[in-house]
Every structure is written in structure tokens, then in C-alpha cells.
Structure 1
């Protein structure tokens, strides 16, 4: 039976192989316990001929990208509780990414699940996004194991980002994509992976979303998984919009003003407005009234 839940939970996890039957059983039990609407897996290591091994009761819609070797492999699982209708599927033959476009409860959604090996990960992701640029819009959610941090705060070494990483972040900005965990937790020091060499923790697993959809993000957190060397990330999207009747009356969502990232964005917006509109002939009241109009346009 299809359920119309208020929130749409999405989970992403590098499972580090699903060829062993006991491993698949543990993963499926974990997925059932977490009960997401969408589950994205990386490094399944399933070959093209083994895709039928990934089965889960209550999850008939399973989309995979694999190759002929036991490497890489990504999958997107859609719960039967969700009214998902697929429109198109794109994936590469290496099994490093899969993108599905469709509708959930009649709303457009694009999910891109990507795995980047640690060899030139930033360049690979940038090239992949460039190839898929025309498919990326405000309904896009990008998840996966990027094998790299996106900011200095994302690893205990506090090592500066190299040029490839900076270029990738610039690409994200051009596509209006945001690291949702860092946006909602600007000072958090939680990580998803431990590297024994050189002995550092880092957050290399990510969920990106479009700036226009940030107000619908209810929560995002890092979850423990005992069967993988990675931790999972779980995000909840407010899905009530799809069930509410359309109205021409705009109402402010006051709960947004309780979120730290919204407050910081408003402060930054006011600062930039003051810097670009310094005019000794304008009254403070006129500047403030104009600033409110600008900010309203940014956050409506």
C-alpha cells in the first residue's frame, strides 16, 4: 500500500561489497530497520550477471549500474510505500554512477548516485556533472561516496583543499548545489570514514541538494553501520507540499528562522547589501525597506 508520509527519508551508504549472502542479509535488515523511502548504495561490487542478487521485500524498484568486474557498482532502491514513476535512467558502463528521473507523488525528482574512486576523485565528479549538466535542476539530489572532503572542516587533519577540490566546489556553486550536511551543521565535526594511513577521520560521503530546495530539508544526520567501513547519511525532506492544495497566498514559514544556516544566510545577505548600496544620501529607513525586498526575494 502506498503511504503519503509527511517526510521523505533518503539514505546513502558505501556498503563495501554485497557478494556474500550473509552481508546482503545484514544490509537488507539494516535498510528495513532504517525504513527510508529511497536508499542509495555504493561499491556493491556486483557484476552485470549478479544484479539479481540484490533483492529486498517491499522494494521492487531497484535500479543498478554495474560492470563485468567485482568493482564499483551503485544502486538506488525505491520503497514500495512511495508512489514513484520513473521517466528516464542514465548510467555509465563502469558502474560508477546512475541517475534516475521521475516523480514521487506527482512531484519531479532526480536522484544521482555516484561513486568516485580515490584516484582523481574531484576531476571525475566534475567531468560527470559536466556531462549531466542538462539533467540537473532544482529537483536534483546528488548522493554518494565522493572519496574526498568538500571543506577543511571535513577532516581531522585540517589540511587545505587542493586545486581540484576547489574547482569542484566552484562547479557546485555554478550548478546551485549545496553540501546539505555542512549547510545545516556548519560547525559539526562528525565524519563518515577513517583512513589508517595517515590516521585521519574524514567526511567523504555526501548529499548535495539544490539551493532552491533547502527550505524543505527537515533533518540530516550521520548513522553508524557495523557491516561497512563507512558510515551512512540520512536526510529527511518535507513532503507535505505534494499533498497541500495550491494557494496564491504566500505565507512565511516561521520555523525557518530557527535554523542556524538560514540566520547566517540572512546576516550575510544584509552585509552584502550594505556593502553594495552605500549611499550617504539615502536614509536608513529607505535602505532597510529596500533590503527587506531583496531578502524576501531570496528566501520566498
Structure 2
């Protein structure tokens, strides 16, 4: 009998910091779709039950959620439409901080737990989450924003800090229960971060995927990827981007196109109104063509800048004032390229949002005795 091809399951977790604004929500949902993840954990959706139902309009697949308020909390789990996902049990809390799904995927029983723990939470909250994992069934995957640095020496940029009582308790309980931090298990000595604190000027890793150590062999990879979405938006309806007129070369080309059009068509045989409307339609096509070419150049610049940004982020925790200045300039340049009309202020560069991606085997493995 031919062996069936292995089915890899990709999960993604992301603290979206609110989905209230419709254009921001559309951008985020479009970005998520482009990543083609099977299961997506979202934290801090800030959506009411009515607004959470609207996620189904933007996501073709199953949507589960636990609602908080319009200012805080709220978690959601998105299931890709092509995934054979049969949910048999849903558990959620009243504060919109925890969502548990017990499901069957291709005959494999699995439990998914999406968690958002607010900053300053006490030990009881963390213990409840770990106890929830222990009492869950099947392959257990717990992910989300935990607002804790389990390894202060590696999970914080700059000078290392000592572990506090909460960190020590979490690490001790995880060791006793056989729970592992998946990313750290695969990258024991690496530095990478999922959050930037503007007031403290520090980077930290506070978003995790947790699993039991016995299931670690199923994991194919776990990565932290950069997101550079901007909240600044523009109307969908086509409108002349006046900033292109700052380009003298492009402006000269437009002058030549207008001159050529008038020499060819302004013969006195058509009214000036028709001539004007036709000119606008033709120039619109010309401008779209020119700006499309400029967009390709801009996208290539973005790719290069993002690579430099990621490289700088990995370098020794951003030590030195000069490196911080370079880093902020790169962020500034990226946002300016994406929207030239945006005035970049320092408080708009609060953090580089990150997503953590996890890939596991969803099929059942058998061992011959």
C-alpha cells in the first residue's frame, strides 16, 4: 500500500492590537490570507460579539472567538476552509483572554488553546493556563501573548536582567509538567523578539507556542517573522497621487504625453468637453502604467530595507545609541516608502509587530514493534 503524503499543519499567532477599524481589519485579514496558515491565533481583537461575527465575512472558513471589550482583550482562532476541522468542544472565559478548541483533524484528536495574558498578571493566571493544558486531550498546542520573558538572558535586548519570582515559578512548573517553549527548544541560543517597548527602548520575546515535550518530534519548524503593516490608509477609489508630481522625470513624461495627445486629437472636430474627458481617461491609464513601474521599484527597495531591518534586529540586542538611530531610520524609511504622505512620528514607531509560525505534523504516526 502506498504511503500517504504527510500533511503539514501550519499555525500562526499574532497580537493584532485591535480590529475595530475596518480598513486595518481588512489589511490584517489580507496579510493573514497571504501566509496561507491552516490555523491562526489572534489576540487583542477588541471586538464585541456582533463585530466578531463580521470576521466571517473576511475569512472564508471557521471562526471561533472569545470577546473582551472594545479597548482590551478578545481572542480568536481562524480555521482555513481547506482544513478538515471538526470541533467537538469550545471553552472560553468571560474576559476574552482564553479560547480552547477540542477538535479532530484527519482522525487526530487535537486541542488548541489561544491565550492573551495582560501585563502585570499574577501567578494564578499562568498556573490556570498550564493546568488547562494538562487537562486537555490529544495533541495539545497552546499559543499566544503571555507577556512574560521566560529566559531574560536571551529574550530581552540589551543588558540581561535577572529572573523574577513569576518567571522562576513558570519555568519550574513547565519543567515538572513536561511543557516546552517550542521556539526556544528549536533555537536554544538564538535571540529574536516579538515585541518592542518604546518607553523602555527594549525588545523582548513574549509570544509563545507551548507543547508537551513528548510531542516535540512532530514539530517541523518554528519561526518569528516580521510584519511591517502600517495603520495609515487611503481610499479605495482611484485618486491621483499628487506625490508623483514631485518626481521631475515623471512630470516631464506627463507633459510630453499631454502634448502628444492634444496634437493628435485637438483638431476642432470634437467639443472641448469630450476632448477633456478623453484626455483624463487616457492620462489616467498612463499614470497607472507609470506608477505601476515605480511600485515595482519601491517594492524591491522595501525588500532590501526589511532584510537590513531584520539583520540589525538580530545583532546583539541593539547595543549602542548609533545602532538604535540606524534602526529607527530604517523603520522610518520603510513607512515613508509605503506611504509618502505620512509624517512619521516617533510614537508611531512603537514596535515592530511580529508573528510566530509553527509547523507540526497532523497525521498519526505508528511504530512497528
TM > 0.5 fold call: yes
Q: Secondary structure at the match of 1:154?
A: coil
Q: Is the 1:43–1:73 Cα contact (8 Å) retained in structure 2?
A: yes
- What is the alpha-carbon distance in structure 1 between the residues aligned to residue 85 and residue 13 of structure 2? 18
1:124-273 counterparts in 2 under 5 A?
124-130=125-131, 132=132, 135-137=135-137, 139-152=139-152, 153-156=154-157, 157-227=159-229, 229=351, 230-239=353-362, 241-242=363-364, 246=366, 248-249=368-369
Deviates most, 151-160 or 32-41: 151-160
User: Offset of 1:124 from its aligned partner?
Assistant: 2.0
Q: Secondary structure at the match of 1:11?
A: strand
Q: Is the 1:13–1:144 Cα contact (8 Å) retained in structure 2?
A: yes
What is aligned with 1:253? none
Q: Is the 2:133–2:140 Cα contact (8 Å) retained in structure 1?
A: no
- What is the alpha-carbon distance in structure 2 between the residues aligned to residue 171 and residue 15 of structure 1? 29
Q: Deviations over 1:124-161 (max 9, x none)?
A: 2223333x255335611110001111112111131111
* Gap runs ≥5 in structure 1: 250-300
Q: Which has the higher contact order (CA 8 A, sep 6+)?
A: 2
Q: Is the 1:178–1:210 Cα contact (8 Å) retained in structure 2?
A: yes
Q: Secondary structure at the match of 1:51?
A: helix
- What is the alpha-carbon distance in structure 1 between the residues aligned to residue 195 and residue 367 of structure 2? 45
User: Offset of 1:90 from its aligned partner?
Assistant: 0.7
What is aligned with 2:15? 14
Q: Is the 2:90–2:100 Cα contact (8 Å) retained in structure 1?
A: yes
* Gap runs ≥5 in structure 2: 231-350
What is aligned with 1:74? 75
Q: Is the 1:28–1:56 Cα contact (8 Å) retained in structure 2?
A: no
1:143–1:56 Cα change, 3 Å: farther
- What is the alpha-carbon distance in structure 2 between the residues aligned to residue 108 and residue 68 of structure 1? 32
Q: Is the 2:194–2:207 Cα contact (8 Å) retained in structure 1?
A: yes
Q: Deviations over 1:250-299 (max 9, x none)?
A: xxxxxxxxxxxxxxxxxxxxxxxxxxxxxxxxxxxxxxxxxxxxxxxxxx
- What is the alpha-carbon distance in structure 1 between the residues aligned to residue 29 and residue 155 of structure 2? 29
State TM-score, norm by structure 2: 0.62
Provide the aligned length of Structure 1 versus Structure 2.
Answer: 243
Q: Secondary structure at the match of 1:55?
A: helix
1:68–1:196 Cα change, 3 Å: closer
What is aligned with 2:319? none
- What is the alpha-carbon distance in structure 2 between the residues aligned to residue 162 and residue 199 of structure 1? 20
1:140–1:109 Cα change, 3 Å: same
Q: Deviations over 1:16-47 (max 9, x none)?
A: 11011111111111111110110000000102
1:60-99 counterparts in 2 under 5 A?
60-99=61-100
User: Offset of 1:67 from its aligned partner?
Assistant: 3.0
User: Offset of 1:122 from its aligned partner?
Assistant: 4.8
* Deviating 4+ runs (over 6 angstroms): none
User: Offset of 1:196 from its aligned partner?
Assistant: 1.6
- What is the alpha-carbon distance in structure 1 between the residues aligned to residue 8 and residue 122 of structure 2? 32
State TM-score, norm by structure 1: 0.75
- What is the alpha-carbon distance in structure 1 between the residues aligned to residue 21 and residue 354 of structure 2? 20
Q: Secondary structure at the match of 1:89?
A: strand
For the pair shown, which has the larger CA radius of gyration, 1 or 2? Answer: 2
- What is the alpha-carbon distance in structure 2 between the residues aligned to residue 105 and residue 78 of structure 1? 14
Deviates most, 52-61 or 23-32: 52-61
Q: Is the 2:29–2:59 Cα contact (8 Å) retained in structure 1?
A: no
Greater fraction helix: 2
Q: Is the 1:140–1:209 Cα contact (8 Å) retained in structure 2?
A: yes
User: Offset of 1:55 from its aligned partner?
Assistant: 2.6
User: Offset of 1:5 from its aligned partner?
Assistant: 6.0
User: Offset of 1:121 from its aligned partner?
Assistant: 5.4
What is aligned with 1:266? none
Q: Is the 1:14–1:43 Cα contact (8 Å) retained in structure 2?
A: yes
